[in-house]
Structure 1
Amino acid sequence: AQLTHRADDNSETVQARLATFENQTRPLLDYYQGLNLLSRVDGTREPETIYADIEKTVTSDR
């Protein structure tokens, strides 16, 4: 398979996306973590394990 690049595959675009995350998403994560409503799931594991963790989190009473 041949690797194709999008027109916006460059370091400037990556930096802009990371800045957007920090400015718009990070405050939400901090807010919900402060309310003890944020759960984190390691998405690098096997899909079945990830699913089990999400299911456990969603069905828990906190």
Structure 2
Amino acid sequence: MSLYLIVLFIIFALFGCASTYLVKFIYCYWVKKRIEVRYVWRACLCALLIIPISLLSQWLV
């Protein structure tokens, strides 16, 4: 398994984590009627981690 495929798998996992946190935020906002900002921050962190990893993957190839 090449290093590039591992990097792509990590990027895919981070996208999944970010979308999960956004769904949790929407659930808390619509169903529980309260705002949980920590889910938005975690989703942003996952999205921001994608940028340097994708830049490193371009450099590694």
TM range (shorter): 0.3 to 0.5
Q: Which of the pair has the greater relative contact order for Cα pairs under 8 Å at 6+ separation?
A: 2
Q: Given the two structures, how large is their TM-score scaled by the length of structure 2? A: 0.32
Q: Given the two structures, how large is their TM-score scaled by the length of structure 1? A: 0.32
Higher gyration radius (CA): 1
Richer in helix (by share):
2
